[in-house]
Structure 1
């Protein structure tokens, strides 16, 4: 069963897909602190949104 937000159309499969892509991309990098993880996640989301625009 998947949840779909009726307002935005966001669903659990989409979120799980993005998370798996993120893990593959950054698995080889060694993370030393939570702020570094946050920065890497922000960079990933920025690049993902940039692809949607162009």
Structure 2
């Protein structure tokens, strides 16, 4: 996804860093889209272990 240009425009945004970075949030949303999660609230029903580890998040 990174090679396709998903994160190329991150410099255009001002984002106050919190626990998660903007790139982590965008990657999480992109994976949710690929996994066909219907709404962001339903992500809690998915198994977060492997997905979270693969994108560098310890918890989702």
| TM-score normalized with structure 1 length | 0.39
Normalized per residue, the structure richer in helix is 1
Query: Structure with the greater relative contact order (CA < 8 A, sep ≥ 6): 1 or 2?
Result: 2
- Greater gyration radius: 1
